[in-house]
Amino acid sequence: MNVNEVLTSIAGEGVHANDHVNMGQSSNDTFPSAVHLAALDVATNQLLPALTTLELSLLAKSVEFQDLVKSGRTHMMDATPVTLGQEFAGYAAQIRLGRERVAATLVHVGQIPLGGTAVGTGMNTHAEFAAQVRARLIERSGLKISAPEDAFEAQASRDALVELSGALKVLAVSCIKISNDIRLMGSGPRAGLAEIELPSLQKGSSIMPGKVNPVMVEMLQQVAAQVIGNDTAITHGAIQGAFELNVAIPLMARNILQSLRFLTNATTLFAVNCVDGITPNIERLAAFAEGSLSVATALNPFIGYDKASQIVTEAHASGRTLREVARELGVEESVLDEALDMRAMTTNQG
C-alpha cells in the first residue's frame, strides 16, 4: 500500500492510489508474489552460482589431493585408509547435492499468487491481468515464473517458502559438517591433527604471539547456525496461516532472504579465502596412515579376523608396528606386502 502511494505521487495529478495504481490487485496477492520473486531472484542469480564456486574449489582440491593417503576416521577413532582427495570429493558432492536441492524448490517458489486479489477468487481484476504481468516479469527478469497450480493454495499458504528454507537448512548442515572436518584436519599446528594447513588471514590472539585461528571455518559455521534458526522461524510463520491468508509473511520474507544472502556470501568467502588456499601436510598424512592399527583390516581375507585382532592388540600394547608383530606371528612377507599396500586400500577391490 505504501508503494501505491509512492507511485501515485510520482504519477501526479488525477491518479488515485487505490482506483488506479492498485487496480486489479490486492496486498494479499501482490505482497507474497513480491516475496516469492525476491527469493527466486536471489536463489537463482546469487546463491546457485556461489555454490558452484564452492563446489569447483572443493573439486580442484580433490584432484590435487587424490594420491595423498591418510587415516580414515569413524567414531573419531582410527579407521582404514582413505585419500585426502576422496574426502574433498565427498565435500564437493555435498555442495552439489545441496545446490540441486535448492534448485528443485524453485519451480514452486516461481508459482506466484498474482491475480488472486483478496482471497484467491480474483475479484475486481481483469481476466488477463495476471498472465500479462507474469509475461512481462519473465521478459524483464529471465526468471522461471509461472501461474500457481491452484489459486487458493497459492493465496492461503506459503509452503513453497518453507520448502526452499528446508533445502537451505540441509545446505547449512552440510556446510557445518564440511567445515568441522576441515577445522579438525587443520588443528594444531603442533598439538592437533595438522594434516592440512589453512590460509593465515589475520592474527588470532591479542595475547598469544603467532596464533592463527580458522576464522573462515568459524564464519561459515555461525552463518549456518543462523540459517537453521531462520528455518525454524519460517516454519513457525507458515503455521500461522488461517483460511485465505497468512499474516506472517513479513517474518518469512525477512528470514528467507537473509538465509539466501548469508549463504551466498559465506560460501563464496569460504571457497576463495579458505578452500583455495589449503595445503597438505604430506609427512603428517603419511605418518597417521602408516601408524593406524586399523589397516590390519586388510589382513582379514588372508589370516582371518581373530588373528588380525591378535596382531592389533599386541601392536598397540607393545608400541610396535603391525608388520613387525604380524611377521613375528608367522605371516609371510609377501602377504604383508600385498595386504598392507596403503594406496590399494583406498580403492574398491571387490
Mean pLDDT of the region 240-269: 97
Computed over every residue of the chain, the mean pLDDT equals 96
Asked whether the CA dihedral 76, 58, 219, 253 is positive or negative, the reply is negative
The CA–CA distances, whole Å, from 342 to 71, 143, 291, 319 equal 10, 50, 11, 20
Just give the CATH number of 25-284: 1.20.200.10
pLDDT at 350 over 60: no
Q: Is 26 part of the annotated catalytic residue set? A: no
What's the confidence (pLDDT) of residue 202?
86
Grid cell locating 311: 596382531
For the chain, which residues make up each domain, given as ranges?
25-284, 292-342
Given the residues 205, 236, 316, 318, select the one marked as catalytic.
205
What's the confidence (pLDDT) of residue 349?
59
Give 333: exposed, middle or buried? Use CB within 10 Å, 0-12, 13-18, 19+.
exposed
Q: Is 36 part of the annotated catalytic residue set? A: no
Tens digit of each residue's pLDDT (9 = 90 or more) over 270-282: 999 999 999 999 9
Mean pLDDT of the region 69-77: 97
Mean pLDDT of the region 126-133: 96
CB 241 within 8 A of CB 155: no
Just give the CATH number of 292-342: 1.10.40.30
What's the confidence (pLDDT) of residue 55?
98
DSSP 150: S
Give 9: exposed, middle or buried? Use CB within 10 Å, 0-12, 13-18, 19+.
exposed
Mean pLDDT of the region 131-155: 97
**Of the listed ranges 85-89, 180-184, 220-224, 240-244, the one predicted with least confidence:** 240-244
Report how far residue 102's alpha carbon sits from residue 18's, in angstroms, rounded to the nearest whole number. Answer: 37
User: Of residues 181 and 202, which shows the higher confidence score?
Assistant: 181
What's the confidence (pLDDT) of residue 1?
85
Got the DSSP string for 7-30? HHHHH-TT--IIIIITTT--HHHH
Q: Diameter of the chain by CA atoms?
A: 101
What's the confidence (pLDDT) of residue 204?
84
What's the confidence (pLDDT) of residue 84?
98
